Structures are given as structure tokens and as C-alpha cells.
């Protein structure tokens, strides 16, 4: 047997299935038995609902961005900051001789003018800083930075505020609106570039509060105390520097270019220096210019520790508890500060009312 010769491969038999018979097209199909409908799975329904809700929510958000709500426009004006005008402008009434219905009405007129001016500055500043505010952990929630108010709507609001401020100046006493005009000019220069210059930025903010005081005194007709003006300036400068210190610790130097000219140690020294100046100027105002009775010296002496305690409490919140980002919240939400301010207000009111009680 020759094993080198290959044997033929076996033949594979493949069974071919029979072809199906052609269907009878003339026969009617039998009716199929209807099966009961099964409910859709809960997961599928939930997914559809979630998708629909997400779509509607996204549409609503886009709609709010195109049409800002009244609440968003009001938040753009920062009504929480209007208390600055209520706290500074009426200081002109510390002169007891200026009290009267007309003086209170003129003080309210001054508060209205500075409220319109400050609101206008806030809108312009938020428009200029909208890109930088989006990088800040807190300021990114502002109406323009978050997209709740469009730049077009903010521009229309700016025009309305400018017209209202012009009407306020025309309707008021002639040429007694110059402190508000100077404040507006400084604030616009601040928004356009001076806010990036270290030290100049904080000094402009403090000067704006002195102009509030001058506007109130000018409309009321009360004499202007140099010591009171210095006290207001140094106090507001301390708050402005404290705010910059908090921003440096919270968000670094990248958010505000002017912070590159500061260090924490430098700001700490400046804040303490200005706090001392505030306390000294306050005591000198009480001694030389305040309209107090001869028998109010004890009340005046008791109010000085309250002023010093208020300054010390703010420094504690700023340097120890790392607060101070919003001076309004610090001054009007801290319990120790509120109690101390109430006691100080009672003592000052007694010192002012004693002359009227003895008359």
C-alpha cells in the first residue's frame, strides 16, 4: 500500500430542507387573540418625565435670561447697600440747631439723590466687571455676571437712572447738587480704571462717603465739621481696606488687579492705623464741634468706649475670624456690633436732646 498517495476526501451529504408550500392567498387569516396591554416600566416613565422637566427648566432659564425679572433688576441696584446713604447723609442732623420738618425733608431729598447716583454706579460697574466677576466665588452670582440680566437690559436701566438723577438735580435747590455730581464723576472714573490703582481705589471709595456727608449738610444748611468729615473718611477707608483684605484671602489677587499692590501685612498695618485715626477724630469732634449741652460731658465720655469697642470688634471680625467681605453685613448682622451700636445711639441721643430738655 502506497501511503504517499492521498485518498479522496469523503463525500459530504447535506440535507436540503423541503421548500415551503405556497401560501393560499384566498384564505382569510384567523383573528388573533388580543393580549392584555402591559404597563410601561416605571423607569421609562420616570426617564421621560425627567427629560421633559429638564427641557422645560432649560427653556425657562433661557427665557429668564432674555427677559429679566423685576427681582433681578432690583438686585442689580443693590438695595442692601442703600443703608450707606441712610447712615451717612443724615449725620448733618447732629447739629441740633438744624432740626425741623424742613431739615428732615431736605435730608430725605439728599438720600434720594445719592441712592439714585449709587445705583447708577453699581450698574455701570457691574457692566464693566462682568467678565471678572464670573471668576469670583461670590460675585459670579450677580445679575449681569450670572446672565440673569442681559447687557442690553442693563443699558436701558442705566439710561433710566441717569434721567431720574437729572430730574432730581433740576427739581432740587440750584447748584446744591455738586457733591452728588462730584461723587458720580469720581465713581465713573473709578469704574473706568482708577479701581485698578492700589490705594487710590480705597481712597476714592472713602471720599464718596464724605461727599454724602457734605451733600446732607449743604441741603440742611448745617455747618460742616472738619473732625466729623475726617472721622467719616477714616472709618470708611478702614472698611474699604478691610474688604480688600478679605478678597485677598478669599479669592487671591487675580480677581482685583489693584490687590497686586497690597500684601496682608501691609493691609493689617493700614487698617489698624486708620482705626486709630477714626477713634481720635471722633473724640475731637465730640470735644470741639458737637452740639452738646454743658451737662452732657459724662454721656459723651461714656459714648467714646462704645466707639472704640465697635472699632475693636470690626478688627476682630476682620483679622481673627477672617470676615469683612461685606461691611454692611458685618455692621448690621453681628450681634455684638448691633448691641454696641444701640447703646452708642442711646447715649448720643441723650447728649443731643439734653439742651432741648433744659430749654
CA distances 54 to 45, 46, 65, 141, 354, Å, are 14, 12, 17, 22, 66
> pLDDT tens for residues 17-63?
545 444 444 444 444 444 444 544 443 333 333 333 333 333 343 44
> pLDDT tens for residues 111-121?
898 899 989 98
- The answer to whether the beta carbons of residues 89 and 208 sit under 8 Å apart is no
> pLDDT tens for residues 214-273?
888 888 877 788 998 999 999 999 999 998 998 888 777 776 788 889 999 999 999 999
C-alpha cell recorded at residue 76: 442689580
202 CB contacts (<8 Å, ≥6 apart)? Answer: 237, 240, 241, 244
> pLDDT tens for residues 135-182?
777 778 888 888 888 888 888 999 999 999 999 988 888 778 899 999
- pLDDT for the residue 52: 39
CA distances 120 to 49, 157, 163, 180, 187, Å, are 44, 8, 10, 12, 10
- DSSP conformation class of 226: H
- pLDDT for the residue 141: 83
- Region of 11 (left: φ > 0; alpha: ψ -120 to 50; beta: rest) is beta
- pLDDT for the residue 279: 93
Residue 102 pLDDT class (50, 70, 90 cuts):
confident
- pLDDT of 82 > 50? The answer is yes
From CA 171, how far away is CA 196, in angstroms rounded? 36
> pLDDT tens for residues 172-219?
887 788 999 999 999 989 988 898 899 999 999 999 999 998 888 888
> pLDDT tens for residues 274-303?
999 999 998 888 878 776 655 566 777 788
- The answer to whether the beta carbons of residues 248 and 262 sit under 8 Å apart is yes
H or E segment to which residue 220 belongs: helix 200-220
- DSSP conformation class of 258: G
How much is the CA Rg of the chain, to the nearest whole Å? 36
DSSP for 318-338 reads IIIS---SSHHHHHHH-HHHH
C-alpha cell recorded at residue 207: 471720599
> pLDDT tens for residues 296-331?
667 777 888 999 999 999 999 888 887 766 777 777
- pLDDT for the residue 7: 45
Residue 354 pLDDT class (50, 70, 90 cuts):
low
- pLDDT for the residue 340: 92
- pLDDT for the residue 67: 65
Of 353 and 222, the structure prediction assigns the larger pLDDT to 222
From CA 316, how far away is CA 322, in angstroms rounded? 8
From CA 278, how far away is CA 315, in angstroms rounded? 13
Q: Which of 100, 107, 102 is nearest to 217 (CA)?
A: 107
Largest Cα–Cα distance in the chain? 151
From CA 296, how far away is CA 353, in angstroms rounded? 9
Amino acid at each position: 500500500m502506497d501511503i504517499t498517495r492521498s485518498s479522496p476526501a469523503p463525500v459530504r451529504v447535506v440535507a436540503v430542507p423541503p421548500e415551503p408550500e405556497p401560501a393560499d392567498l384566498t384564505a382569510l387569516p384567523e383573528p388573533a387573540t388580543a393580549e392584555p396591554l402591559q404597563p410601561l416600566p416605571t423607569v421609562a416613565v420616570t426617564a421621560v418625565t425627567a427629560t421633559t422637566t429638564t427641557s422645560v427648566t432649560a427653556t425657562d432659564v433661557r427665557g429668564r435670561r432674555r427677559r429679566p425679572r423685576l427681582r433681578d433688576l432690583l438686585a442689580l441696584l443693590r438695595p442692601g447697600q442703600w443703608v450707606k446713604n441712610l447712615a451717612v447723609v443724615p449725620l448733618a442732623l447732629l447739629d441740633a440747631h438744624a432740626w425741623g420738618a424742613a431739615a428732615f425733608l431736605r435730608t430725605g431729598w439728599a438720600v434720594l439723590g445719592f441712592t439714585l447716583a449709587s445705583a447708577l454706579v453699581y450698574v455701570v460697574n457691574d457692566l464693566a466687571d462682568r467678565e471678572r466677576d464670573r471668576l469670583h466665588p461670590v460675585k459670579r452670582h450677580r445679575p449681569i455676571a450670572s446672565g440673569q440680566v442681559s447687557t442690553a437690559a442693563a443699558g436701558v436701566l442705566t439710561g433710566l437712572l441717569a434721567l431720574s438723577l437729572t430730574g432730581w438735580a433740576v427739581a432740587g435747590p440750584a447748584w446744591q447738587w455738586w457733591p452728588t455730581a462730584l461723587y458720580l464723576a469720581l465713581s465713573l472714573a473709578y469704574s473706568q480704571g482708577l479701581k485698578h490703582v492700589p490705594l487710590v481705589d480705597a481712597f476714592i471709595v472713602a471720599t464718596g462717603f464724605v461727599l454724602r456727608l457734605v451733600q446732607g449738610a449743604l441741603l440742611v444748611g448745617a455747618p460742616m465739621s472738619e473732625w466729623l468729615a475726617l472721622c467719616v473718611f477714616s472709618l470708611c477707608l478702614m472698611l474699604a481696606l478691610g474688604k480688600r483684605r478679605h478678597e485677598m484671602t478669599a479669592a487671591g489677587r487675580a480677581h482685583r488687579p489693584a490687590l497686586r499692590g497690597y500684601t496682608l501685612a501691609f493691609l493689617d498695618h493700614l487698617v489698624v492705623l486708620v482705626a486709630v485715626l477714626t477713634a481720635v477724630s471722633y473724640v475731637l469732634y465730640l470735644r470741639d464741634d458737637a452740639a452738646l449741652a454743658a451737662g452732657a460731658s459724662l454721656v459723651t465720655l461714656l459714648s467714646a468706649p462704645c466707639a472704640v469697642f465697635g472699632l475693636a470688634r470690626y478688627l476682630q471680625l476682620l483679622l481673627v475670624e477672617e470676615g469683612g467681605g461685606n461691611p454692611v453685613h458685618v455692621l448690621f448682622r453681628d450681634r455684638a456690633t448691633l448691641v454696641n451700636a444701640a447703646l452708642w445711639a442711646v447715649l448720643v441721643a441723650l447728649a443731643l436732646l439734653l439742651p432741648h430738655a433744659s430749654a
